[in-house]
Amino acid sequence: MPQLAPHIFDLLYQQGVQHSFGIPGDFALTLYDALAESKIEPIVMTHEPCAGFAADAYSRIRGLGLAVITYGVGGLNMINSVAGAYAEKSPLVILSGGPGVRERQERDLLHHKVKTFDTQRRVYEEVTIYAATLDDPATADAQIHSALDYAMTFKRPVYLEIPRDMVYAKIEEAEHRPPPVKSTDPETLAEALAETLEMLNKAKSPVILACVEVHRFGLQQKIVALAEKLGVPVCSTMLGKSVFPEGHPQYIGIYNGEAGDPYVRNVVEESDCLLMLGAFMTDINLGMFTAHLNPICTVYATSERIAIKHHEYYNVVFKDFIDALCASRNLPHHDPSAIMPMKPRVTPSNGKISMSGLLYELNNFIDSNTLLVTDVGDVLFAADDIQTREGTSFLCPAFYASMGFGIPGVIGAQLADPFRRAIALVGDGAFQMTGMELLTAKRLGLNPIAIVVNNGSFTSLRAMNHQEADFVNIPTIDYGKLATVLGGNGFVVETSQQLHEAFHRAKESKTFSILDVRIDPEDMSPALQRLSVLFAKMLKG
């Protein structure tokens, strides 16, 4: 009979999880003992929110992530990060230590308890797709497999709480595991595929809009093959950026409603057959809901549902729909020669570095071996004009939009894909929240490059007609010197030439680097300039 926690860690390792992120505590010490004995390497972070962000980024690349935390002060401290993973469909497994089964029966006032012993699990029920306390050896294995099934099917976080006297409990392996939470009905799939092919064959100007779930389900190469078979333009949203290689001649850029590139907007909104594959219909993805998409011309396919025109097709797994579409022999082909590939709207800076100049130099620096992680704020909107070189090379929190993702995210990303150089693009406000996590990078021997846009303000708030408001201003320090204090390399950047030199030196470094890029507070990316007008209109109603 297997032991509970070792059994979980074995299953997760079989799914490709080689690292966990978290902070030990007394209710999780025995759980950490079991973790240390497993094949999964525990990564101890400085703060639970950072553990959640790092595990989230790891899961976006590997397909599954793991966070191991303690009860109460640990688990509740990580809620915000898990909420972001839920909102953006990132499949984390959260394992929390907890009071023992006997303790719950015999002692009421244990430290770290809030209201009841079930409070933490009930809180996690709101930010996960499955949550359970593993307190019964007879049912634990079925609950574990159900949790993994939910995580992998819907790409959402799941939560398992392990009482500390259950960590090494012998559990009964389920003879009859629960059926899959979702499966494809062949007849329904055939109907959905037939209607899609009918639309494609009648269409004069079909377009693919590929988004985040293509990342999550590992379908990037299939979408490239589908696009090349069809010969049609391909775009993405902010959240799905780099799901399609941005140097591909059929890739035209990010669609973002009225806030985005007019050429991309026109191509998408004038299409008579828009394949929206794995897309999130969010305000940020759709330019503050300024998108004009005609449902009668749309095939909308996600893990939640398949909608074609006004028809809904349930009981079709997203991956099965994509597989069937790619395998079809009835796909039309269009001449791709008239497609205008993505062209970033940035120019080099003469003299003092500008936001546009920073993006220009960054585009020249990144290559196919680069992973780019952005935080929230202008650095997120600036991604409209960053051109990555490879598929699945860009991560951002573009829907939930929680500040602080960038630095811990770049640690999770570099551990998930150690063969590519990781860069974090963060604002100074976000860096002040989680930048100390670079100590973890130093301890692990990682060498990410952190580009800190140092302008002493929350730029995206300033852009919303709050230029004079005092609350948009934040304290500033010399981040180059801070890098030295933390054991890394620091560079103060005020010109394009200094940025070019800093990139070169940071690239050769064996440890982390901070590029302290001094930008005027009034300066902002081309994308934020457009988006700020829409933000202001929305806030005014």
Same domain, 122 and 210: no
Asked if 366 and 497 sit in the same domain, the reply is: yes
Same domain, 144 and 213: no
Q: Are residues 97 and 243 in the same domain?
A: no
Confidence at 286, pLDDT banded by 50, 70, 90: low
List the CATH number of the domain containing 407.
Answer: 3.40.50.970
Domain extent for 205: 186-338
For residue 172, is it within any domain? no
Query: What would the mean pLDDT of 435-455 be, rounded to a whole number?
Result: 97
pLDDT range class, residue 291, cuts 50, 70, 90: confident
Residue 379 lies in a domain: yes
Residue 371's beta-bridge partner residues?
A: 422
Query: How much is the pLDDT for 464?
Result: 61
Residues 149 and 201 both lie in one domain: no
User: What does the pLDDT average to over 391-399?
Assistant: 89
- Average confidence (pLDDT) over 354-360: 93
State the Cα–Cα distance between residues 154 and 64, nearest whole angstrom: 12
Q: Are residues 203 and 273 in the same domain?
A: yes
Q: From the CA atom positions of the chain, what is the Rg in Å?
A: 24
Residue 344 one-letter amino acid: P
CA distance 40 to 517: 37
Claim to verify: residue 280 and residue 386 sit in the same structural domain: no
94 shares a domain with 8: yes
Q: Please report the pLDDT score of residue 107 as a whole number.
A: 80
Average pLDDT over residues 256-265: 85
Handedness of CA 103, 104, 106, 108 (dihedral sign): positive
Angstrom CA distances, 334 to 206, 237, 249, 324, stand at 9, 23, 14, 20
Q: Note the pLDDT tens digit of each residue in 463-485.
A: 565 566 677 778 899 999 999 99
Q: Is residue 347 part of a domain?
A: no
Burial of 455 (0-12, 13-18, 19+ CB in 10 A): buried
The H-or-E segment that residue 112 falls in is none
Q: What is the pLDDT of residue 45?
A: 98
Q: Look at residue 384 in the predicted model and tell me its pLDDT.
A: 87
Closest CA to 120 of 184, 74, 85: 74
Question: Could you tell me if residue 368 is inside a domain?
Answer: yes
pLDDT at 472: 76
- The residue with tokens 């998930």 is 416
- At residue 345, does pLDDT exceed 90? no
- The residue among 305, 338, 371 that closes a domain is 338
Last residue of a domain, one of 116, 131, 163: 163
- Which residue has 């070189």 as its token pair? 389
Sheet of 306-308, strands arranged across: 251-254, 234-236, 206-210, 273-277, 298-301, 306-308, 311-313
Residue showing tokens 């020669």: 337
Length of the chain: 541
For residues 222-240, give the mean pLDDT: 96
User: Mind listing the pLDDT tens digit for each residue in 18-38?
Assistant: 999 999 999 999 999 999 999
Give a yes or no: residue 390 inside a domain.
yes
Give the angle 380-151-133 at the CA atoms, nearest 5°.
Answer: 115
pLDDT tens track for 102-144: 887 778 777 787 888 899 999 999 999 999 999 999 999 999 9
Report if residue 84 sits inside a domain: yes
Are 244 and 129 within one domain? no
Specify the number of domains making up the chain. Answer: 3
Are both 35 and 131 inside the same structural domain? yes
Mean pLDDT of 52-75: 97
Percent of the chain with pLDDT over 90: 77
